[in-house]
């Protein structure tokens, strides 16, 4: 989804900073953007590390002069573990990537946005942040936290020209399943009853179009909320 958002933003004229813990993947996206006439740079960042987030946004400002749009997209799954099977290390790792990184990147961007009284923050949450059985307890809690943080931030800075919204994708064809390493049979079994109600999986490009709308002036009255993009899965 990050790649799709970056390439679409560049196509629409944005100067893009592509960030990934896998710098080769980031460089590949940058080369694709440049080959299509866009402008982009790659910055390696492990968003679980505060110093990487600092460097990421500092690099964006040093390269392009300012920051206009922040997209917090990094995320990993849990192993569908229920509360009784949570291990502290996994809880802390997933929250560091899925939730704490959103706070830290937002905190870093806000002085830039406040100075010019303008800025957009887009957080990629999840249908798991709106419901109780789309993943395990850790992922579910981390994405609920992103939704709450989004609403609070959107309201707090609404009078400062800053908008903060979230996208809650349903099942999308991405590589996030690779972050699941030891799925808990009980946990995934409890979630399976709802899987049959999913109309279809989405394409990353479909999520990118929502991110484009939220970043644009066409969404000037949309703030502090969550747009669900899941083909109607959560409507059941």
Positive or negative, the CA dihedral 223, 152, 228, 56 is positive
Q: Which among 9, 64, 139, 236 is annotated as catalytic?
A: 139
Mean pLDDT over the full length of the chain: 96
pLDDT tens digits for range 57-91: 999 999 999 999 999 999 999 999 999 999 999 99
pLDDT at residue 101 tops 90: yes
Q: Is position 139 annotated as part of the catalytic site? A: yes
pLDDT tens digits for range 114-145: 999 999 999 999 999 999 999 999 999 999 99
pLDDT tens digits for range 150-181: 999 999 999 999 999 999 999 998 877 777 77
- Ordered by where they begin, the domains of the chain are 2-235 (3.40.50.720)
Instruction: Look at residue 174 in the predicted model and tell me its pLDDT.
Output: 82
Whole-angstrom distance, CA of residue 215 vs CA of residue 223 = 11
pLDDT at residue 182 tops 90: no
Whole-angstrom distance, CA of residue 78 vs CA of residue 140 = 9
Angle at 9 between CA 8 and CA 15, to 5 degrees: 135
pLDDT band for position 31 (cuts 50, 70, 90): very high
């Amino acid at each position: 989804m990050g790649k799709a958002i970056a390439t679409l933003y560049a196509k629409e004229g944005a100067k893009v900073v592509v960030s990934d813990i896998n710098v080769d993947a980031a460089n590949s996206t940058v080369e694709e953007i440049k080959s299509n006439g866009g402008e982009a740079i790659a910055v390696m960042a492990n968003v679980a590390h505060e110093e990487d987030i600092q460097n990421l946004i500092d690099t964006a400002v040093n390269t392009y002069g300012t920051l206009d749009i922040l997209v917090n997209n990094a995320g990993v799954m849990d192993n569908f573990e229920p509360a009784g099977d949570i291990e502290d290390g996994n809880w802390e790792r997933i929250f560091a990537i899925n939730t704490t990184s959103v706070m830290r990147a937002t905190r870093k961007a806000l002085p830039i946005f406040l100075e010019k009284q303008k800025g957009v923050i887009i957080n990629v949450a999840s249908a798991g942040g709106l419901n109780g059985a789309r993943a395990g307890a850790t992922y579910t809690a981390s994405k609920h936290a992103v939704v709450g943080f989004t609403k609070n931030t959107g309201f707090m800075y609404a009078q400062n020209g800053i908008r903060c919204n979230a996208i809650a994708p349903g099942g999308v064809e991405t590589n996030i399943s690779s972050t699941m390493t030891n799925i808990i049979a009980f946990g995934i079994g409890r979630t399976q009853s709802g899987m049959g109600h999913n109309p279809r999986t989405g394409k990353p490009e479909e999520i990118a179009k929502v991110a484009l709308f939220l970043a644009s002036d066409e969404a000037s009255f949309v703030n502090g909320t969550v747009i669900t993009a899941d083909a109607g899965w959560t409507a059941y």
